[in-house]
Amino acid sequence: MTIIDFLIGMTLMNAMLHLALGFWKGRMLTSFGYGNTQNIAYGILNIAISLGLFIYKYGINEILNNGIFGGALTVFLIFLIFGKFLYRVFNKKE
């Protein structure tokens, strides 16, 4: 494992945390400020950094061959598609 591998994993997992907080109206301090919109923007930045580092080190074709990164990226995409929907379903005010 190299430092680039560590940064790929760290930024990928950090993206998931900030996206979850952003979609579910959680507030956490980011480089962009404090709020749910800032969390979403910071999460997208982290996924872009992770993806960029991965492509730099391994090439774009390796995303399909790397099960860990591919699986985490799949969870990210599913959450990106369904995150706001799930928030509305599970956060209904009665």
**What is the per-residue pLDDT across 13-60, written as a single tens digit (0 to 9) for each?**
888 888 888 877 777 777 777 878 888 889 899 999 999 999 999 988
**What is the per-residue pLDDT across 48-72, written as a single tens digit (0 to 9) for each?**
999 999 999 998 888 878 888 878 8
20 lies in which domain range? 3-90
- Nearest residue to 66 (alpha-carbon basis) of 8, 19, 17: 8
CB-based contact 21:82 (threshold 8 Å)? no
Q: What is the CA 66 to chain-centroid distance, rounded?
A: 17
How many domains is the chain built from?
A: 1
